[in-house]
Structures are given as C-alpha cells and as structure tokens.
Chains A and B, each alone.
Chain A
Amino acid sequence: MGAGNLPHQGPALYSVSWLDTAAAWLLALLWILPLVYAVWTAFHPAEFSTRFDLAAPWTLENFRHAWQAAPFARYFLNTTLLVGMILAAQLVLSTLAAYAFARYEFRGKNVAFALVLVQLMIMPDILLVENYQTMAKLGLVDSLLAIGLPYFASAFAIFLLRQTFLGIPKELDEAARVEGASALQTLWRVYVPLAKPVYTAFALVSVSFHWNNFLWPLIITNSVESRPLTVGLQVFSSVEQGVEWSTITAATLMTSAPLLLAFLLFQRQFVQSFMRAGIK
C-alpha cells in the first residue's frame, strides 16, 4: 500500500475499477448526446435533421438562416449588458451588506439577516405577478433594468461573503485601522482582495444563471430592444408551421457558444475557484 509522501492522487490507492470507468463514460455520452445532436443538425441540411446519414453534406446555411431570421446580434448585446449589470450590482450591494453583517453589531441584526435568508428560497421568479405590477407602476416594463432589478440584491452572495468575511482575522482589520483607514477603506483594501475566490465563484454562478434565465424576462419584456437571448430563442422557435430543427439548433449553438467556449477554456479555474471559495 502507499507509504511516505504520496502525491495528491496516489495511484496506488483505490485504483479505479473498469466498472466505474465504463459507467462514467456511458453517463457522459448520454449527457452529451443533445449537444452532439445539435451540432449534427446545425451543420447539415434540413432533410438530415431526422436521418443520420454519415455521408450527408455539411453546410453553414442554417447558421446564416438563423442569424438573418431574428436579430440575434441585438439579443446578444442585451444579454451581455444585462448579465454584466446584474453582476456588478450584485457584487457591490452584497459586499456592503456582508460587511455590515460580519463586522458590525447593531440591534435588529438577526432579523435583518433572517430577512435576507428568505430570498434564498423565495426567488423573485415565484412572485412574478406582483413584481410585474411593481414594474408597471414604476414605468419600467420592457427595459433591461426591469429584468435585472429584482436580482440586484442577492441573498446567496450576501450569505457567502458574510461567511468569508467572518473568517478573516480581526488583526488585519485593526492593522488597517491603526493606519487610519476608514471602515470603507478597510473593506476595499483588506476584505475584498481576500475574498476574491468567492467573488469568482459567485460571478460564475450568477452569469450562468442570468444568461439562462427565461420566465421573468419573458413576462417583463415585449420588444426586441430589451429581449434577452432566451426569450428571443423561444420566440424564434415557436412555430405555427412546424418545428424546424436545423435552424433551431443552429440558433442554439450560436447563442450558447460564448458560455460553452468560456467553460471549455476555463474549466480548471472554474473548479479551483469553487474550491478556494470554500463553498462546502
């Protein structure tokens, strides 16, 4: 058996059985099947969307067709702006709030924290009827701001950051104070840098959530100017005249490409930042 200083994944310990490998691979192939189908159908003409003839010709026509059929460029822009705006707001607001919870004592602190935790379970999506009316009163219906506003305060982020801030030793705090830093400056110089892995992990979760968010944006947007990709895709693929898979999969690939590529390139960092964030 193993002895002495073994590397992190000592190969002599618990070698992987062939059964495990087979099962893992089978599951992986099953899991990736939809994507494979999407790639097949998007790059082949419509007749081959249901027929898997390996000799079929390749074509980019579907992409061209999809790109022209709906203003995907605009949808991309909207989604990028939306996701960026939400993330920025979430980071700022939750940092401030988490700092308050972690480093201040005040009456009503527990009540306030309980209120925050409520949002972990009761997401704005559930309350869409009422939130829609709020937006109508504010005159914000059909704007990117309306899509993002209910999500700016993220209970998840506050929770994570509070956890992290609590773990930062108070000596660092006092050291900064001795140098004459105000509370906010301490926050910026000491706490924020130390919480970077948490920020990264949270950013990844937030981006992928809001990139994919559908129901609330569906309700609150009407026009192309504020429509994000998900709503645009649904409008695009809802067909009175029948489903056309080659065009839909082309559109799907186009709209998922950024996230997919980002993940493929940054897989490692992604997992590592989760590790260091200590989301356990």
Chain B
Amino acid sequence: MAAGSNIAPRAAVSQHALHAWLLLLPALALLVAFTHWPALATLIDSFFSTPRGSRPGHWVGLENYQAMVEDPVFWQAVRNNLWFAGATIPLSMGLALAMALWVNERMHGRAFLRMAYFTPTVLPMIAVANIWLFFYTPQYGLLEQITGAFGLPSHNWLGDPATALACITLVAIWKEAGFFMIFYLAALQTLNPSLKEAAAIEGASRWYYFRRVQWPLLMPTTLFVLVNAVVNAFRLVDHVFILTRGGPDNATSLLLYHLYEVGFKFWDAGYAAAITVVLVVVLASVALLQFFVLDKRVHYK
C-alpha cells in the first residue's frame, strides 16, 4: 500500500485505521443517530409509561407489552400485515419477473409495455390512492361499472372486511411490481446471449431454458429484490391513509399504520415504543437471515 513509507509499520497501520474511521465517521454517526440509537431508545422507552402533559413517564416494566398482547387491534394488525406480506412479496416479485421477461423479448410495443409497467413507481402513492378510491367506490366506481356490465352483483369493496385487505394488497402490488421489474430487466440483459443460442441448438423448450438457465442466474437479483419486498411489506402504508384509514373495524390496519395511530393520534408513547420494538425485531430477524445468505453471495463474487 504505502510503498516507500518510512513510518514504522505499526504506526502506519494505526494512521491507516485513523483515516478509515475518519472516512466512515459522517455516515456512521448519522446511522447511529437515526437508526441504532433510536432503536435502543425505543427499547428503553417501551419499559416506561407514557408522559402526559406535565407528568413524566415512570418505570412500568413489561406493562406496555402486556397491554399490547391483550390488545385485539394489535393482533389484528399483525395478522393483516402477515397476510399483506404473504401476498405482496411473491406476487409482486413474480409479476416483476414476468414483466421483465416479456419486456426483454422482441414484442410489439415493448417501449409502451415498459412504460406502463413502470409508471406506478413514479406516481406518489398518496396521489394514486384517491384514484383507486374511485375504482373501488360502490355504485358508480370503475369496478362497479365493469362488474355491472357483466351482470355481476354490486359489492362494497372497501367497506367489507372480507375484501378490504385484498383491495389494499392489490394497490401495493400494483405499485411495486414495476420497480422490481427494472432490476430483473437489467439482470436479464446482462445474461450471455450465447447461453440462449446453446439452449436453442440443443432443442431445449422455452420453459426449460427459463427454469434451468435464467432462473439460477437471476438468483442474486431475486435475493436482492426479496430484501426490498420484505422491507416494503412493512413500510407501504401510505395508501391506507386515503383508502380505509385502517377500517372497516381494523380490517386493513397494518403494523406501521397502527404504530402511527398509537403514537401520533393517541399519543401513547410507551405503547408505541412497544409496537416499534416488535417491528424492529421482525425486520432484524429477516435481516439476519438475509445477511447470512447475502454473505455467501458476496464471497461468491
């Protein structure tokens, strides 16, 4: 490294280390300030009661967690979020892959397809949620007009707990798939074309080509997209604000939305901290799993 340096090796190493830490400092300081420290502080806060007005909080141990466990709305939010994640992750990834495969082919109007798939990404969710509100509106909404044309019965999509969550999920998938498509598309286009020729020459079917050649080579991208999809499954709540506000009767309450309600509508800081801890633990566990898999991939390179 430092060729021809005449500083003693040990000092050189520590000067080296000092440089490294200086380079790291700004980023690390901010990360600690806004990710690590708040996570710890939240954990600590979750053991205190909520300060009210001029009364400060006091130590209550696990009381907030107990209240959380006994709160049916919390469990509803957990269930909803699991369903939500269980649907958005595979569906948005699968659709993204299909979109990428299609756009990668020589198809009529490829540019239009690509634009159509990606457009949801550039539209802010808050804005499009109102449009989806119209789609789902009973009696004269778009879905209503379509189902009416087919003679199907009317339905209150967002007002029925059985369908409201599905509607929310659909909006999320619609928003995400195009974004993930770009990653897959880029990966597909870097695949060696001779692979395709070789497969064609050997008479392999299209499905075989996909399953045995493309899919394994896309694994790194898939893992990467998976990380994003999991994070988004807990982050994407903007549309809930417009479409259902967590209703009907908490049927579309997601963890982060519930957290917002408890923390900023009810101002129950202690309970909000407990919910945050749960969210962090869930995401951290997934992160740890991913880290070990990603780690192997990094070594692969």
Contact = CB atoms under 8 A, between A and B. Distances in A.
Q: Do chains A and B touch in the complex (CB under 8 A)?
A: yes
A-side interface size class: 35 or more
Contacts of A275: 186, 189-190
A215 B17 contact: no
B189 A271 contact: yes
Nearest to B297: A280
Contacts of B118: 263, 267
B116 interface: yes
Interface in A58-112: 92-94, 96-97, 99-101, 104-107, 109, 112
Q: Which of A97, A125, A130, A152 has the most CB of B within 10 A?
A: A130
A279 B181 CA distance: 12
Given A125-B235, A237-B242, A243 B130 contact: yes
Interface stretch (B54-62, B84-92, B101-109): B101-109
Contacts of A54: none
Interface residues of B, number: 114
Contact of A115 (B17, B36, B183): B36
A161 to B, nearest CB: 11
A151 to B, nearest CB: 8
Overall SS of chain A's interface: helix
B19 A14 contact: no
Contact of B45 (A121, A130, A152): A130
Contact of A177 (B3, B119, B230, B241): B3
Interface string B16-33: 110111011011111111
B120 A1 contact: no
B283 A37 contact: no
Contacts of B26: 92-93, 96-97, 153
A29 interface: yes
Overall SS of chain B's interface: helix
Given A37-B134, A251-B127, A263-B122, A120 B242 contact: no
A175 to B, nearest CB: 11
Nearest to B18: A106
A211 interface: yes
Contacts of A99: 23
A202 to B, nearest CB: 13
B41 interface: yes
Contacts of A45: none
B111 interface: yes
Interface in A111-143: 112, 114-131, 134
A178 B120 CA distance: 50
A96 B23 contact: yes
A279 B235 contact: no
A214 B125 contact: yes
Contact of A28 (B38, B117, B179, B206): B117
Interface string A1-42: 110001011111110100011011101110111110110010
Given A104-B16, A118-B287, A248-B130, A16 B106 contact: yes
A31 B27 contact: no
Nearest to A121: B287
Contact of A260 (B99, B119, B298): B119
A280 B286 CA distance: 20
B93 interface: no
Contact of A13 (B17, B196, B280): B196
B163 interface: no
Given A20-B102, A28-B112, A121-B227, A131 B119 contact: no
A259 B122 contact: yes
A195 to B, nearest CB: 15
Q: Which of A163, A167, A178, A267 has the most CB of B within 10 A?
A: A267
A255 to B, nearest CB: 7
Interface of A: 1-2, 6, 8-14, 16, 20-21, 23-25, 27-29, 31-35, 37-38, 41, 49-50, 92-94, 96-97, 99-101, 104-107, 109, 112, 114-131, 134, 149-150, 152-153, 155, 158, 163, 166-167, 174, 177-178, 183, 208, 211-212, 214-215, 219, 229-230, 233-234, 237, 243, 245, 248-249, 251-252, 255-256, 259-260, 262-264, 267, 270-271, 274-275, 277-280
19 contacts: A9-B106, A10-B200, A13-B197, A16-B107, A24-B99, A32-B116, A34-B174, A41-B134, A112-B28, A122-B283, A124-B38, A130-B39, A130-B45, A149-B30, A229-B124, A245-B130, A259-B123, A264-B115, A275-B186
